[in-house]
Structure 1
Amino acid sequence: MAIIAQLSDIHLAAGRDGRVDDASGPVRALRAAVSSLLALPARPDAVVLTGDLADGGRPEEYARLHALLSPLPMAIYPMPGNHDDRDAMRAAFGDHPAVVDTGVAPQAPVQYAVDVADVRLVCCDTTVDGHPHGHMSEERLAWLDGALGAAPATPTVVATHHPPFPIGIRFIDDMRFVDPAGFAKVISRHPQVVRIISGHVHRGSVGSLAGTVSTTCPSTYRQLFLDLTHPGRAAVTGEPAGFAVHLVTDEGAATTHFVPTGNYRPLMDVE
């Protein structure tokens, strides 16, 4: 069994002086998320960061992110979103051999597969340089197919930044995963994939792709307003920040919990 926590859309932002203000909203929110995660009765085996970790893709933002995550004792697996800079992220997480590959070209996709307890976590790069939407090229899809084919009997979680299913919020669907058909085709060939997890949406949602449950994660900072009308309003809300926790059994049963940030202690026993 494996417990994988998911933090997403952190958006640490440096000011004009290059400093990340410790009193800023994203910093305070991330500290609260880390504290909430550490307070869970069952600590996760790993934490995956599903993109938009920095707001401007600046080295100072990733350095501060790395420091703010240092209280977490478990493995941390970062991946980029449309706000991120791959090279700056790689440099900040230089102590992570799965993320840092010195043989790749500048701005090469950040994509890797790791084992978390008895589960496999496959992190895909859906970002498109200079654009907010997501896409996976034929080369990236071939990599994913090979990564999944390497462990066909191991329950697997596939992580992306852009969700491969429509959300219904116009603002987000305008920055959608463009043409996810190739991605769906690859997933359909690998029945050991028990969950697809994504960020980008700044709120929890559940969909499906190729018969596999697909979820998005709340932001550790700001949640987007749930307006399913058209054209709808692009706005953030005062809803609680949060994160996701994915439980995957050895048999491949997967359950996802959306956890609001905060120290919510038990009020009373119920049995």
Structure 2
Amino acid sequence: MTVQASPPYLRYVALGDSQTEGVGDGDDVRGLRGWADRLAELLARDSPELHYANLAVRGRLAGQVRAEQLGPALALRPDLASVVAGVNDLLRPRFDADGVAGQLEAMFAALTAQGARVVTLTFPDLTRLIPAARPVAPRIAAVNDRIREAARPHGVTVVETGHHPVVTDPRLWSTDRLHASPLGHARIAAAVAEALGLSGSDGSWSHPLPPPAVRPATGPRAAVAEAAWVASFLTPWLTRRLRGRSSGDGRTAKRPTLLPVDGG
């Protein structure tokens, strides 16, 4: 992939769901950091006057991101925007890859038409982390294909993370296996920085981690760990879906206005 050198950005706005909000990197008491915050910090090294807003809210479907976040994002007139959505859609019973792509492309079109450079991500194969999720593997491939197709006509930068084995190293993921860990968020930020051509960025984010000090559980121990994960994370998630609830109910964006990177 040919990477264009990054111009100085003054207004970065992030749109999306829990990953962009920063779930898995910090907590709701101390505050969430996340890859978009980390990217803003990297951007600010080259652009000290950068202001940054994060409109992402956990649990949002692609259509909700468009309905709730696109208008406010356009009002902020970003010169750089990230749009990452679709994972929540592919985990729902009624999944429509073309519908997700339509929502994403509408956001890509509106932001680029206003002059913003837009960046997005494809998704790794979650089934390598969650064996029980194997039925959604074709959905992941389908939504990634649609993201690439939706991005192409608008010159959107697509950060391809799924091709690198390290992205499914469990150490890059939180205990729920759905959200990146602090290390994972740092790697995502570094991947986006490389795609944007930020000074000092390179492909080291894709390098494998050193061998773990403790071997992963196998056999009966692995089965016990899987059962614990189902009880702690999968069952509550399914319960919310059956009740028509979302982890983002009642939540608003953590950073809805443009602020200096060291001021929020």
TM-score tier, shorter chain, comes to 0.3 to 0.5
Compute the TM-score of the two structures, normalised by the length of structure 1: 0.38
Using CA pairs below 8 Å that are at least 6 residues apart, which structure has the higher relative contact order?
Answer: 2
Higher strand proportion (structure 1 or 2): 1
TM-score by length of 2: 0.38
Point out the structure with the larger helix share: 2
